[in-house]
Structure 1
Amino acid sequence: MSKFQAIRPMLWTNELKETIVFYVNILGFTCDEYNEDWGWASLHRDHSELMLAKPNEHMAFEKPIFTGSFYINVDDVDALWLQLKDKCNLCYEIETFEWGMREFAIYDNNGYLLQFGQDIE
């Protein structure tokens, strides 16, 4: 059976350059590769990786939609909260939940939901 590797989501956007700026300048990602001809970029921060792409003729795309969230585990959620709370469109403020996670959520510049959490047990 094939072994799965780390998941690396690809977010579709018509605002590729603006999305790179959001992830690099606001969230601290590094843009590893950007190809304007392909309408594609690859970014990372620590162990989190993602790709960004402009939709092409093979993809039905009107606007960014995703029926879930991208959940990123971090080692200091309170520090990250202080860094981001005034720079982003918030979904919910930092909170400790009964299942032992301290987390908050924001929207990126496209409206994708990003949750950041830390296991506190």
Structure 2
Amino acid sequence: MALKTITPMLYTRQVRETVDYYISNLGFTCIGYDERWGWATVSRDDIEIMFALPNEHEPFGMPKFTGSLYIRTDKVDELWKELKEQAIICYPIETFDFGMREFAIYDYNGYLLQFGTPVD
């Protein structure tokens, strides 16, 4: 038995608007949407992210995810050029001493998305 992939599911009260943002601003495609369930999946290349209405048994105000989604790419500079005018920037592209070239943006709901590639 081996674990294969991870697909985060992020809560939002605006599933349709979130999907539209990922399509229009970040170049994703919607591969699943069900308004009755309050659920959707978007993808780009090998990345999938699900969105869902909050579980009714759990309190939900603003998104409470305390980390970030770190997405590795082999073309971080090209991706930066594509996305920098389409999103709210957390920090611009930079090469860090720990060996990564990366940048970070906020999505429609305020979740932090980091994009990076290792450097030699």
TM-score > 0.5 by shorter chain: yes
- Kindly provide the CA deviation profile for residues 78-101 of structure 1, in whole angstroms up to 9, marking residues without a partner as x: 111111112111100100011221
Q: Percent identity?
A: 55
Q: Which runs of 5+ in 2 are unaligned?
A: none
- Structure 1 length-normalised TM: 0.94
Deviations 1:45-96 (A, max 9, x none): 1111111001131222111121110000011111111111121111001000
The answer as to whether partners of 2:26 and 2:86 remain within 8 angstroms in 1 is no
Question: Is residue 104 of structure 2 the alignment partner of residue 102 of structure 1?
Answer: no
| Structure 1: gaps of 5 or more residues | none
Matching residue of 2:36:
37
SS at match of 1:7: coil
**1:107 Cα offset (Å):** 0.3
Give the Å deviation of 1:26: 1.2
TM-score of the superposed pair, with normalisation by structure 2:
0.94
- Give 1:28's aligned residue: 27
Count residues in correspondence. Answer: 120
- Helix, strand or coil for the counterpart of 1:59? coil
The 4+ residue runs of structure 1 with deviation greater than 4 A are: none
1:28, CA displacement in angstroms? 1.2
Partner of 2:51: 52
Q: Given residue 86 of structure 2, which amino acid in structure 1 is its aligned partner?
A: K
